[in-house]
Structure 1
């Protein structure tokens, strides 16, 4: 009887009937053994769970619709979800971790469409009032997101032939289409990132994108000579990384090739020479085309930075012959001194690896007068202080003390004025013997021994 009564009580009590299906803790809670929270709290918790589940489902559906470019579903879901309200999605949707262990990410619908290069979704969102200038937690607008996620692809082929090339071409085309849509809908092409760099879209394009972006931004009003927090223009950045296509595009869009960084006085030419003269630049044989491009478009070869250094000072310190010869071809002055009294040949003699190239050393000596071996502190270059260069050091010291003849000074002046660039033009004008005496290097043959 007792068992039948107990069974009948469970059937008539829905809470008791279900307790064998839930955890002991929850059973105690439902049976009233835990009394700190009332029935109203239980109802509110259940409502919140249902609401959270509903919101998560809505966000997930809108997320998928944007990625699939299903504009009909996007339109339907935007009736419930405000277009300028962020979505909360899983940071890594493909992860197998439990939901409670996964991190979530808040992203605006329009940022999502731009990040994944979905032009149809982007256009649909804009038509329904999406704000192109809404910023995320990192201070990025939609255009910033577009540029930060620009596809790194190579589309140098004239017509894609393989499946991979077709896919890459489609990715690139979608990115360009999204950028065009943003510009057409009034995206601020000069809006700066709200962080310590203060990069403009053009600066971001240099850092993360490819050169076709530059002309499109410039055509829509981007300021090609805008400076970031470090006072660098896009051309400074392009020159520093030796990107010839970007340099060429920026110059075509009106970039000032002689703009100097306010904090250092460096120009684009100086930055390009520094990178090209570095160990990496020499190893990769990079930068000659970039430097010639800048010089051909009016870069001032003898511009000095705040320390008084020119591009030739940096090139001589690096010791890369092709860069030094290129600067000399464009009439670089080998006699300019820094504020500390250092000439380009002083910089060249700082490094022992440079000194071993005595042919290039002789070429620099041919253009140098007067020869200044020490700086304002009276210190000689570190390179020639090495024991192995004792004889060369003594020879150079004597040479610095010995005055040149008027004829030798005139020859140097002619070489400095006409440089390598016009020396063959001068050959047509001068008698052969005179031209040879000017340009044939025989004065310093003893340095080669």
Structure 2
């Protein structure tokens, strides 16, 4: 990755200010697709010896994940380092501390699997899932699971195809991931998948019995999909008999109202 990227790919990207969190809550109402903000948990900006020295204060698993490019050679080097650590008995589900760049004090705890999901390296994510990482482990700040991260908007430096996201979620579910966990803002993964227009992810979640009627700020996934004119997602949801098509939000609106309004 180029050093001109907006933020380091070694940062704890789940971090957002309270203003940013509120903005995400309003996202589906205002029909805006906002990407997650840069983290105030910045750990490393690319390249300098000072940055590398700071990175090296973190857990070895995180050091093995973080790097400055995503070439195939780089991924193979990462995997080799990770295999060596797991072979030596390192717990793949260990909660790793993220340090403040200026003070060096711990500011969050996050699993290597979640960091890998933020980074967006498919092979690294698969490695942790297939080597026993807890698929339901949450990070300490927003209580996000790996599935939440994969359903969310793209994080800085992350590049995952829709199919990759859906396949990884399917793999997480195969390894015991729960699909109805609510984060600190009371968002389920399906809410994020709908807001960020990820029909493949919605389909995988619904096939795994995600609750189609769980409300976020009064709106169900179907209501949100209709409000955003997510036609593919609307069809996926109404094809499942569990979906309540007559749900009314706090203002009395239904999915049909939103669809008719052309929002």
What TM-score, normalized by structure 1, do the two folds share? 0.38
- Counterpart of 1:200? 59
Q: Using the alignment, how far apart are the partners of 1:240 and 1:326 within structure 2?
A: 20
Q: Using the alignment, how far apart are the partners of 1:350 and 1:243 within structure 2?
A: 32
Residue 368 of structure 1: how far off its partner (Å): 1.6
Residue 283 of structure 1: how far off its partner (Å): 6.3
1:258 to 129, 136, 157: 136
Structure 1 position 314 matched with structure 2 position 173: no
Higher helix proportion? 1
Structure 1 position 291 matched with structure 2 position 166: no
What TM-score, normalized by structure 2, do the two folds share? 0.61
Q: Using the alignment, how far apart are the partners of 1:220 and 1:138 within structure 2?
A: 27
- Counterpart of 2:126? 248
SS in 2 for 1:228: strand
2:113 to 207, 219, 235: 235
Q: Using the alignment, how far apart are the partners of 1:227 and 1:214 within structure 2?
A: 15
Residue 256 of structure 1: how far off its partner (Å): 1.1
Q: Using the alignment, how far apart are the partners of 2:90 and 2:178 within structure 1?
A: 25
User: Are the equivalent residues in 2 in contact too, given 1:345–1:364 (CA < 8 A)?
Assistant: yes
Count how many residue pairs are aligned between Structure 1 and Structure 2. Answer: 193
- Counterpart of 2:223? 346
User: Are the equivalent residues in 1 in contact too, given 2:61–2:112 (CA < 8 A)?
Assistant: yes
User: Are the equivalent residues in 2 in contact too, given 1:202–1:217 (CA < 8 A)?
Assistant: yes
CA distances 1:366-421 after superposition (whole Å, capped 9, x unpaired): 432263242x4x275899669xx43x78xxxxxxxxxxxxxxxxxxxxxxxxxxxx
User: Are the equivalent residues in 1 in contact too, given 2:223–2:258 (CA < 8 A)?
Assistant: no
Q: Using the alignment, how far apart are the partners of 1:327 and 1:321 within structure 2?
A: 10
**Greater length-normalized contact order (CA 8 Å, ≥ 6 residues apart):** 2
1:331 to 209, 218, 221: 209
CA RMSD of aligned residues (A): 3.5
CA separation of 1:302/1:137 partners in 2, compared to 1, >3 Å: closer, same or farther?
closer
1:140 to 48, 53, 62: 53
- Counterpart of 2:247? 372
Residue 276 of structure 1: how far off its partner (Å): 7.1
Q: Using the alignment, how far apart are the partners of 1:214 and 1:282 within structure 2?
A: 21
CA separation of 1:138/1:309 partners in 2, compared to 1, >3 Å: closer, same or farther?
closer
1:19-418 alignment to 2 at 5 Å?
Answer: 140=53, 144=56, 193=57, 199-208=58-67, 210-224=78-92, 225-229=94-98, 230-275=108-153, 285-338=163-216, 340-352=217-229, 354=230, 357=231, 360-366=233-239, 367-369=242-244, 371-374=246-249, 376=250, 378=251, 380=253, 389-390=260-261
CA separation of 1:139/1:329 partners in 2, compared to 1, >3 Å: closer, same or farther?
closer
CA separation of 1:370/1:242 partners in 2, compared to 1, >3 Å: closer, same or farther?
same
Q: Using the alignment, how far apart are the partners of 1:283 and 1:255 within structure 2?
A: 23
Residue 227 of structure 1: how far off its partner (Å): 2.0
CA distances 1:132-174 after superposition (whole Å, capped 9, x unpaired): xxxx866839x94xxxxxxxxxxxxxxxxxxxxxxxxxxxxxx
SS in 2 for 1:286: helix
CA separation of 1:350/1:205 partners in 2, compared to 1, >3 Å: closer, same or farther?
farther
CA separation of 1:284/1:315 partners in 2, compared to 1, >3 Å: closer, same or farther?
closer
Instruction: Structure 1 unaligned segments of length 5 or more: list them.
Output: 1-135, 145-192, 194-198, 394-449
CA separation of 1:350/1:300 partners in 2, compared to 1, >3 Å: closer, same or farther?
same
CA distances 1:327-357 after superposition (whole Å, capped 9, x unpaired): 111111101123x2221112212323x1xx2
